[in-house]
Structure 1
Amino acid sequence: MEEPSNVALLKEIAELLNEEMDMSRMLDGAIRKLLNGSIFETAWIFFINEKGKHQLVAQANLPTALANNDCRHLQKGGCWCVKRYHNGDLEKASNIIACQRIENAMPENKRTDHPGSITHHATVPLQSGEEKFGLLNIAAPDTVEFSKDELALLESVAFQIGSAIKRIRLTKQEQELALVKERNRLARDLHDSVNQLLFSVTLTARGGVEMSEDPAIQHTFRDIQHLTQEALNEMRALIWQLRPKGLESGLLEAIKGYGEMLGIAVETKVTGVIQLPSRIEETLFRIAQESLNNVRKHAEVNKVELYLSVTTTDVLLVVKDEGRGFALDHNVDLPSIGIQSIRDRAKAEGGTADWSSEINKGTEILVRIPY
């Protein structure tokens, strides 16, 4: 049975977790309430993916040695608790005898000769049912081992946080599904109404050219036909962006299909095995779309080379054309909304986007995204 003070603390944390919908604010608020209401003084949370790669997603009241250089010792490298978690050997709150991250961050004389320093920590998995998300780690100065009651409190808080993580992720998935449905509905409506209307105008203009013998009128109808065909092409591209056809058949097939719709041949070269999360795959597809749109509008070529390199940690996408190119000045705004969109999409996934271009020597776009 929890002590009365612990019951009040758990209730306070539960109220925050139930109200908060933003993952970052939820994790940060939960560990700060835990520290304020317990003997624990330092906390940090790792999310860990299927490959055992960890990500520092929240931290509070870190000692200077761990906080230095953007928490470098927590961000990089491996450790006993992450390895044990990934191997399935970490099932409950445990005292860690030796922490590799703390040892690397603090020289031995500072760990042993300075009172008030952190030398050990406890860890507990964050999970909901059979689904695991990562680790909650806590520490306190001059504390080598936490009691059973303190570890029980840590497990209770971790259970609450794990349930909240699952709730937020499920809610996000539902929102993404609703967004996909709305995109599909809008794409279908555009195809059935505006797309068909533009096609009808194109046919009408073609008929006007054939029925009239007046050169001026024929020229006017040809202009209408040309402009309507351009609008029709733009509409088809928009429908593709809303509802990417062919993505279910593979990323490269979808990109080639989009290029074909724009009249651009896409020559592809792949290294590594394309087994990417669906979110990353769609991001790459959207980036390739923007790249091909830029080629069509600005490069004045009908062929591009696309390179995709997949490693165990990230994916590199390169789109290269031999078109008009542009003079890239890093001190001014990017030359098109499409290029800014590529940078924004890559950044949203923790990646980067760079360009190499010269007048009449083509353009190369390089996008790297971790996963």
Structure 2
Amino acid sequence: MSTHDTPHVQELITLKTIAETLNESNALIPMLDVVIGKLLELTGLTTGWLFLVEEPGTHEFVAGRNLPPALRRENNEPMRCGSCWCLERYDDGRLKNAVNILNCKRLDNAVRYQWGETEGITHHATVPLRSGNRRFGVLNVAAPGKLHFSKEELALLESVAYQIGSAIERMRLYAAEQRRADMFARLGEYSGALGAYASQAVNRAELTKQVMSLIGRYFDWPAAALLEPAGNAVTLRALYSGGQTTLPHAQFPLAETARARFRKEAGSTDPLRAEDAQRLADHLAEEGWIPSVTRAVAVPLAVAGDSANGLLLVAYNPYRDSYRADLEVIEALAEHIGLTLQRFRLEENRRELARMDERNRLARDLHDSVSQTLFSLVMMSKGVGGMLAGEPNGPNSLLQDTIHDIQSLSQSALKEMRELIMQLRPPGLEEGLMTGLKQYGERLKLHVHSHISGIQELPRTVEEALWRIGQEALNNVSKHADTKEVTIALSLQNHEVELRIEDRGRGITRQRLNELTRHSVGLSSMRERAESLGGQFRLYSTYREGTIIEVQLPLVGKLTGNEGGNE
């Protein structure tokens, strides 16, 4: 072989050795360090380092061999902080091929700020790492006193860099597939655990809390949240962050772009736009609910035949391409959570219908049997008392007292029976929900102003839920608002009903409202009644300005097994 062929043979040996080294491991960072060492050994260069770049403006120093002391100081601080000319050219797209860097900014700074010895290295070659159209970072190589790299040297470095880029792509695909397999295995375990808990759950709040707790147990995301859009705001229903699960029920404004998305695509299962999801995560971080994260995904919980538009928000700091599978898992997770909550809600509705049927049956039986018997007993005791009073020889005092006691006891029992029947079957609803609430408020000495819009027959579960929520709200006004004026507004539409109860009383301070949100049995009861029917409960209050309670309940697709109407 001629000496003319020797450089080309050396190039082939270099490329072969690098290829073999790259195929020896699937551990990315150790592999890159070994490859740089092999490259320096084969080319006669002395120093090399490599940056990985995920997004413009960011870089990660991942490997370096024989760096001069000035660049190794304080655990490679000069390599980990700040940008340089080669990375700036890479970020703005000017670094397309291997080039000579006439002066290295990091080395210049080392001399200027006297960081230490540079060992005669002033220049280096910079090579972009890529595979096809994908770019991964830059490789730098240098030697003391070497001021220029020939075209042949740069061509060899480009070939090596392409091999490294292809290996990085392969390893990331492998890592992504490994993570995908692991994540879907965790999803299966999560589904089994949630299904087992849902079959025994007592109420929706506890089930929602368990939904988030299990996310923390089976997945490695730092934060996740269940959000519910409500007009121009978002309600934070449940949260997992820092190893803790909470049910905050906090509200905050919703960005206009996200509001438009919800209005336009209600019921869609497609994820929110990345910027909208990140905006939601940033707001939660600003409020201290979750740590700051670099990426967030928000997926609706809507399922077929269900118009619920809650969101599952997952926030995390992605580590390269191994997180490609996360979005697939989050979408599947959101669908599973949506189905679980829907099944639980429908089962609650079924049980509530059964309870209502039983209560109505019992009320009818008591009215038709026991109540009628007691009424007859009252009448008979009155008749006997009248007959004794008309006796010609005068009334038998002892007997008359006994009859009087029977009459009193039977009247008392009849009164208690009627009250029991009324509790089993709510009074006032025979004339309609609004009339019943108005009369109830007036019995509490409130001045009730009522407004109703729309004509719609309400299912009995919806009507009773609104009745109970309205009762609790009016009781709160009577006890705590320090006002007698209250407004009740009922809006009936084809697909939903909204009840709004408003007073202009003393209102609630923010601190007190947070305490009540977490600990008030009355507020929890109202919220649970609304949510059990797939609805929303909201409370707004400003100190010294008043309080507003809003309840929205769906009328379509939520109440299976209910023909509607009242008995």
8 Å Cα contact 1:349-1:369 kept in structure 2: no
What secondary structure does 1:208 align onto?
Answer: helix
Aligned equivalent of 2:75: none
Which among 235, 238, 241 is matched to residue 55 of structure 1?
235
Question: Percent of aligned positions with the same letter in both sequences?
Answer: 26
Which among 374, 382, 388 is matched to residue 198 of structure 1?
374
Q: CA deviation at 1:88?
A: 1.5
Aligned equivalent of 1:128: 303
8 Å Cα contact 2:226-2:237 kept in structure 1: yes
Comparing 274-283 with 189-198, greater Cα deviation is found at 274-283
Aligned equivalent of 1:250: 432
CA distance in 1, matches of 2:475, 2:401: 33
Q: CA deviation at 1:127?
A: 1.7
Aligned equivalent of 1:4: 181
Comparing 133-142 with 144-153, greater Cα deviation is found at 144-153
8 Å Cα contact 1:119-1:144 kept in structure 2: no
Aligned residues: 305
8 Å Cα contact 1:16-1:30 kept in structure 2: no
Residues 101 and 145 (structure 1), Cα distance of their counterparts in 2 relative to 1, 3 Å cut: farther
Which among 241, 250, 269 is matched to residue 448 of structure 2?
269
Q: Does 1:93 align with 2:271?
A: yes
What secondary structure does 2:317 align onto?
Answer: coil
8 Å Cα contact 2:227-2:237 kept in structure 1: yes
8 Å Cα contact 2:488-2:499 kept in structure 1: no
8 Å Cα contact 1:16-1:29 kept in structure 2: no
Which among 488, 491, 510 is matched to residue 309 of structure 1?
488
What secondary structure does 1:131 align onto?
Answer: coil
Aligned equivalent of 1:241: 423
Aligned equivalent of 2:359: 183
8 Å Cα contact 2:500-2:549 kept in structure 1: yes
Q: CA deviation at 1:226?
A: 3.5
Query: Which runs of structure 2 are paired with 1:187-226 in the superposition (5 Å)?
Result: 187-213=363-389, 214=395, 216=397, 217-226=399-408
Residues 170 and 38 (structure 1), Cα distance of their counterparts in 2 relative to 1, 3 Å cut: same
CA distance in 2, matches of 1:25, 1:288: 23
Between structure 1 and structure 2, the one with the greater Rg is 2
TM-score with structure 2 setting the length: 0.45
Q: CA deviation at 1:255?
A: 5.7
| Counterpart AA for 1:136 | L
8 Å Cα contact 2:269-2:303 kept in structure 1: no
Aligned equivalent of 1:117: 292
Which among 458, 465, 468 is matched to residue 283 of structure 1?
468
Residues 28 and 146 (structure 1), Cα distance of their counterparts in 2 relative to 1, 3 Å cut: farther
Residues 11 and 54 (structure 1), Cα distance of their counterparts in 2 relative to 1, 3 Å cut: same
8 Å Cα contact 1:346-1:369 kept in structure 2: no
Q: CA deviation at 1:83?
A: 5.1
Comparing 212-221 with 128-137, greater Cα deviation is found at 212-221
CA distance in 2, matches of 1:198, 1:289: 34
Which stretches in structure 2 are left out of the alignment for 5+ residues? Answer: 1-176, 390-394, 477-483, 491-497, 505-519, 528-536, 539-545, 552-567
Kindly provide the CA deviation profile for residues 187-226 of structure 1, in whole angstroms up to 9, marking residues without a partner as x.
1221122212211210111111111131734454344323
Comparing 230-239 with 135-144, greater Cα deviation is found at 135-144
Q: CA deviation at 1:247?
A: 1.7
8 Å Cα contact 1:120-1:145 kept in structure 2: no
CA distance in 2, matches of 1:117, 1:244: 50
Q: Does 1:138 align with 2:323?
A: no
Q: Does 1:163 align with 2:339?
A: yes
What secondary structure does 1:57 align onto?
Answer: strand
CA distance in 2, matches of 1:221, 1:287: 42
Backbone CA RMSD of aligned residues: 4.5
CA distance in 2, matches of 1:95, 1:54: 16
Which stretches in structure 1 are left out of the alignment for 5+ residues? Answer: 111-115, 292-304, 319-342, 353-365
Q: CA deviation at 1:281?
A: 1.9
Q: CA deviation at 1:17?
A: 2.5
Q: Does 1:20 align with 2:197?
A: yes
What secondary structure does 2:253 align onto?
Answer: coil
CA distance in 1, matches of 2:292, 2:473: 50
CA distance in 1, matches of 2:453, 2:236: 26
CA distance in 1, matches of 2:439, 2:248: 44
Q: CA deviation at 1:175?
A: 0.7
Q: Does 1:46 align with 2:221?
A: no
Residues 268 and 209 (structure 1), Cα distance of their counterparts in 2 relative to 1, 3 Å cut: farther
Return the structure number with greater relative CO, CA threshold 8 A, min gap 6.
Answer: 1
8 Å Cα contact 1:54-1:82 kept in structure 2: no
Q: CA deviation at 1:349?
A: 0.9
What secondary structure does 2:300 align onto?
Answer: strand
Q: CA deviation at 1:308?
A: 4.3
8 Å Cα contact 2:297-2:314 kept in structure 1: yes
Residues 190 and 175 (structure 1), Cα distance of their counterparts in 2 relative to 1, 3 Å cut: same
TM-score with structure 1 setting the length: 0.65
What secondary structure does 1:117 align onto?
Answer: coil
CA distance in 2, matches of 1:128, 1:172: 18
8 Å Cα contact 2:371-2:418 kept in structure 1: yes
8 Å Cα contact 1:209-1:221 kept in structure 2: yes
What secondary structure does 2:261 align onto?
Answer: helix
| Counterpart AA for 1:283 | R
What secondary structure does 2:452 align onto?
Answer: coil
CA distance in 1, matches of 2:547, 2:404: 41
CA distance in 2, matches of 1:345, 1:200: 40
Comparing 236-245 with 221-230, greater Cα deviation is found at 221-230
8 Å Cα contact 2:503-2:547 kept in structure 1: yes
What secondary structure does 1:128 align onto?
Answer: coil
